[in-house]
Amino acid sequence: MSDVAGNTRKQRLATWSWALWDWAEQPYPTIIQTFIFATYITSELFGNPDANTSMLSIGTMLAAIVVGVTAPVFGRRSDDAGKRKFWLLLNSGILIAIMAASYFVMPSPSFLVFGVALYAVGSVVQETAFINYYAMLKQVTTKKNMGKVSGFAWGLGYVGGILLLLVSLLFFVLPDQPLFGTKIDKENIRILFLFSAIWMFIFTIPLALFVPEVPAKANQVKESILQSYKSLFVQLGRMRRHSPDALKFLIASAVYRDGLAGVFTYGAILGSVAFGFSTTQVIFYGIGANIVAGIGAALGGWLDDRLGTKRTIVISLTGLMASGLAVFVFADLGKITYWVFGLLLCLFVGPAQASSRTFVARFTPDGREGEIFGIYQTTGKITSFLSPTFWLIATGLAGALGVAHTAIFGILGLMVVLGAGLILLLRVHPNPFLND
């Protein structure tokens, strides 16, 4: 009886420690990708903001190509070797180093390329880390609570984002004398990137200690990288023949997840460029966005286990599109539009993301999680040109028509991507079966 109780405690500790990594990793999407670093390097401190945004889009596309080429092989090889946790921790360490290095991006046009390069490399490392993190979901859950745990973890990440932004605002941005550093050369902003690195290091420790490593496959045959790619294409061929709905979902999710990534990449930029938010207002907005998104992720996890994963994603994408279009239609009303409909948009982001990884985990056979989530990441990156491309097309057309402020039109490009993904998702069976 005591062994059973001990195993239950170990399982719960592993589940909590796994979920806490969403909290640990949160500085990268919150501080680096969205609200502070991205708006910092696209600001007028580095030259023309529109040109800086285009440069960031190029960096994002190049990063996506790298992930698309490497992700499935990383996942497959970590499955075979029993090194999921090892690779997750290694990628976490690299991501920590990149955030620390961001401190040295000085507010000058000459540092723009360095800043974009760090952003792009960080994106590659983060996406690679997600392969093994997502693959661990089945290790720490059951079929009955998988949706709830996934949604809870995503919500926990948003709560971490709220705390990060509050600390940023109260101790670094607003005070005349920041807690550390000065406001000369934006040191009060840059030191946040060091703070982010320390945060991730501390909160990754529980995962390192309490989440077990997946065992290596018995009698595994070592593959060269070339052989891994050949095996991958064989698996994709089998999936197309025997599990077409699983492949359909990977394609559909690749499209709409790129739309979600676009919402993150351009969300804060849209607030600052299109609606004139100051740095302080962007951070306040980020706090509100994370509160709403955290609530949405938690509700989405609850709905996932009750209404079904596919249905939860469809509801979320529909809500995203309606909210995004409202941002565009009512843009003339000014900042209040982005406060209302932008935050409403955030309500649906978390459920779409959390339920997407749950959907994959549900149909993936034991022992192939890393490989399938590698394909999941790859398909997402193969289409990752969509959001930046449609953003540029929409803003370019607006500029050609003589519109003075083109950034608001970019959201229409993102809605096109989300709409295409939703249409493809509707063709997927709610319970796809992955048959070898």
What per-residue confidence (pLDDT) applies to 388? 80
If phi > 0 it is left, if psi is from -120 to 50 it is alpha, else beta; for residue 367 that is left
Q: Domain of 141: which CATH number?
A: 1.20.1250.20
CA 358 to chain centre: 15
Alpha carbon 232 to chain centroid, angstroms: 24
Share above pLDDT 70 across residues of the chain, in percent, rounded to a whole number: 92
What was the pLDDT predicted at 96?
A: 97
Contact 17, 206 (CB under 8 A): yes
Are 49 and 184 in contact by the 8 Å Cβ rule? The answer is no
> What is the pLDDT at residue 426?
94
Closest CA to 377 of 193, 182, 125: 125
∠ CA 239-242-246, rounded to 5°:
50
Q: Are the C-beta atoms of residues 324 and 345 closer than 8 Å to each other?
A: yes
- 208-260: per-residue pLDDT in tens? 999 988 776 666 666 666 776 777 777 777 777 878 888 889 899 989 998 98
Q: How many domains does the chain have?
A: 1
CA 382 to chain centroid? 15
In a domain, 337, yes or no: yes
- pLDDT on residue 6: 44
- Whether 154 and 350 have beta carbons less than 8 Å apart is answered as yes
Give the pLDDT score at 280. Answer: 79
Q: Rounded distance, CA 407 to CA 396, Å? A: 9
pLDDT at 78: 64
Residue linked to tokens 């708006």? 39
| C-alpha–C-alpha distance, residues 388 and 410, integer Å | 9
pTM to 2 decimal places: 0.75
Q: What is the pLDDT of residue 174?
A: 81
Question: For residue 405, what pLDDT is reported?
Answer: 73
Q: Is residue 347 in a domain?
A: yes
Hey, what long-range contacts does 218-221 have (CB within 8 A, 24 or more apart)? Answer: 220/80, 220/81
Rounded Cα gap, residues 309 and 360, in angstroms: 10
223 lies in some domain? no
In a domain, 299, yes or no: yes
In a domain, 152, yes or no: yes
**Conformational region of residue 223, where left means phi above 0, alpha means psi within -120 to 50, and beta covers everything else:** beta
For residues 130 and 22, the answer to whether their CB atoms sit within 8 Å is no
Q: How far apart are the C-alpha atoms of 312 and 300, rounded to whole Å?
A: 7
Tokens for 11?
């399982």
Determine, yes or no, domain membership for 227: no
Give the distance, in angstroms, between the CA of residue 52 and the centroid of all CA atoms in the same chain.
22
| Range(s) of the domain holding residue 286 | 7-208+234-425
What pLDDT is attached to residue 75?
65
- Nearest C-alpha neighbor of 138 from the set 246, 18, 226, 31: 18
Query: How big is the chain by its Cα radius of gyration, in Å?
Result: 21
- Listed as ranges, residues in the chain with pLDDT below 70 are 1-7, 72, 75-82, 216-225, 228, 381, 433-436
Q: Max alpha carbon distance in the chain (Å)?
A: 75
Contact present, 275 and 338 (Cβ < 8 Å) = yes
Taken in order 293, 201, 36, 265, is the CA torsion positive or negative?
negative
Mark out the alpha helices in 102-186 (DSSP H runs). Answer: 112-135, 146-168
Residue 217 placed within a domain: no
CA dihedral 120, 91, 131, 9 (to 10 degrees): -140
User: Which phi and psi angles does 265 have, rounded to 5°?
Assistant: -65, -45
